Amino acid sequence: MKGDFELLERDGLARICRFETAHGKVETPAIMPVINPNRKVISASEMRARFGVDMVITNSYIISRNRELREKALKEGVHGLLDFDGTVMTDSGTFQTHVYSDVSVDPSEILEFQRAIGSDVATVFDVFSEPDFTLGQAENAAAVTAARVKEAMSSKRGGSLIAATVQGGLYPEVRERTARRLGEEAPDYFTIGGVVPLMEEYRFADLASVIIASKKGLPPGRPVHLFGAGHPLMLPLAVLLGCDLFDSASYVKYAYDGRMMFPEGSIALSDLKYSWCDCPVCSKHAPAEMASMDENESVLSISEHNLYILTSELKRIKQAIHEGSLWNLVEARARSSPQLFDAYAEVLSHSNYLSRFEPMSRRSGINFVDGLSLKRPDFARFFASASGIRPGKADRLLVVRGERQYFSHYDFTSSDIGEDTASLTGVGIFPIQITETYPLAQSNYSAAMECAEKPDSYSARFGYGAWRIADGRWRRMGAGANKPDRLSQALIVCEYQFGRKYAEALLSGDVQCTYSRNTGKLRSIMRDGRQLLFFRTEDGLFSVKFHGGEVLHGVLAKGTMSVECSDDAIPFVSVGKSLFSRFVTDADEALRPGDECLVVDRAGNLLAVGRAVLRKEEMLSFGKGVAVDVREGRSSSASSRQSEDTK
Ligand code: GUN
Ligand code: ZN
């Protein structure tokens, strides 16, 4: 349905979604090329055919001010004017007020015009908030914009979806408050405005702060567009912070300046001697050849190259979301520019907010190159929980460089007491039982990393022995290190995953561990002859089976770990079908994407167990898509009791 926005994959706040308009579906993150109707360098239909562009943006103000364009647009629609059958968004003329001070626009007239020419997404005329605005000016720009959005929504009729712009200058409180206020008007689409000057001046840390503040206030189930941020340099970071759509006039603007875009920055064509780009333009023409073309041809060639770079960078970002490696990409990109590095530092300073969206595990490990990676919110989350576990006799493990697959070489017999610990490198000291759990076993470690705490000082402090891993072998570092057994591994992982109290409740009574005959690895926890938990080898965490859900449901405070659904969903989730967000009526605030959860009815009865795909506020905001990947429903569990140990 028009206006639908559905989450397909995610990596923290970053997400791959499907946005639907009257002219088809757009997979986000996406970048829409800006089409200037007066100066079409590449036609929109060609963009679709050659670059896979499903959505473009054009300016209704420019169209309305030119008689010929206006009449054609009114007669043939904006799609006819641009010769494009995909999604067309129109901007309102606000940017022209930022560039030329003598522009005057009537807010309701320009919105009406956008509707009249059949725009798929029409932008309410907003007030551009400049970075140097005082608090009063920024508040005013945001408030006037919000009032216009309210007006637009009260007169909303079929046709165009409505885009509302968050303004508020460099004041995070104003951005967040305005975003929340706009959200209450329930427009279809949100844009973050007033950021072009930040892009132009490479003030990326300020830009990151503006995005985060705006995201905090916006409803999470709607598309978010960062206005005018069409340079590849910023894309990975902006997507990491939850921006879905971008527009770029820069692919052409740079071309007029003779500049070739690359993911790490741009290079003047005149300075480019060896182009490593393999796009169709660059593989046909060497840089010198492009430089000697006549102006029109060279602008066209550079524009095409720039569009290829932008669209391929987005593909790379999407692949990273799919792999769960976007933080790795952003960290690598941050090192290509000091301003981007500052922006990354700004992002890390919002770890508390970001970690609400961080999963316990990803499909990709962390690249620990230096101390910076230790500040990543997923590691910070792991570190806070795992280093807090101090059971009576647990051995601690120092994670050092080691081989990637070290966890497959358990060798508890070797012990090298008295090893030189001064030169050890690593990420920290954790319970030995948790080494198969994300991110320890799944990550890569540089030998140059300083370990925060040495095992001998650790032993002195806590009286625990420590093990280290090197060359694929376990080495005992001090006195008192005992070989952990499977049940103690299960208990510690459960404690890390669910908390001490619930770990004990789960693993009490008649409990047994099963493990793989081939690898010796933990596989399942059985209780009373039924499968309670399943150990996932890929991330070293437990999947809760229905019986485990029953035990947890019996001891958890009401609502904890739970997602509550309306009666309509009961027949579906009870037999193990996914729970869709439109049926969710409430959820535990503490659940994060990827967490194990219980699905309950409105009376609190247990219906199913599964993994949360969304956070509570996302479940309540997304109108479409899956909220919980249900693993086992109460009816499906009864029939599968014979065939346990399979999932
Ligand atoms: N294009 C670039 N920045 C902006 C902005 O703040 N508002 C609108 N409407 N368009 C823009
Ligand atoms: Zn190229």
pLDDT of residue 585: 98
The first and second tokens of residue 375, run together, are: 């500040």
3-state secondary structure of 614: coil
3-state secondary structure of 257: coil
Pocket of ligand 1 (CB under 6 A): 91-92, 94-95, 123, 126, 128, 165, 193-194, 196, 227-228
pLDDT of residue 390: 63
Whole-prediction pTM value?
A: 0.92
Q: What is the pLDDT of residues 30-50, one digit of tens each?
A: 999 999 988 888 999 899 999
DSSP symbols for 308-372: HHHHHHHHHHHHHHHHT-HHHHHHHHHTT-HHHHHHHHHHHTTHHHHGGG--S--SS--EE-SGG
Q: What is the pLDDT of residues 100-152, one digit of tens each?
A: 877 889 999 999 999 999 999 999 999 999 999 999 999 999 999 999 999 99
Q: Which ligand is nearest to the CA of 283?
A: 2
pLDDT of residue 460: 64
Domains parsed from the chain with CATH numbers: 5-249 (3.20.20.105), 548-645 (2.30.130.10)
Q: Which ligand is nearest to the CA of 91?
A: 1
**What residue's CA is closest to ligand 1, atom 9?**
94
pLDDT of residue 405: 34
Burial of 274 (0-12, 13-18, 19+ CB in 10 A): exposed
Ion ligand 2 — residues with CB under 5 Å?
277, 279, 282, 305
Q: Consecutive 10-residue runs of the chain (647 residues): their mean pLDDT?
A: 96 98 97 91 90 96 95 97 96 90 89 97 97 98 98 87 98 98 97 96 97 98 95 95 96 96 93 93 95 94 96 97 96 92 96 94 87 87 80 52 36 33 57 82 73 62 58 51 68 90 89 85 91 94 97 93 98 97 97 97 97 98 97 81 45
The first and second tokens of residue 106, run together, are: 């009537």
Dihedral-angle region of residue 270 (phi above 0 means left; psi in -120 to 50 means alpha; beta otherwise): alpha
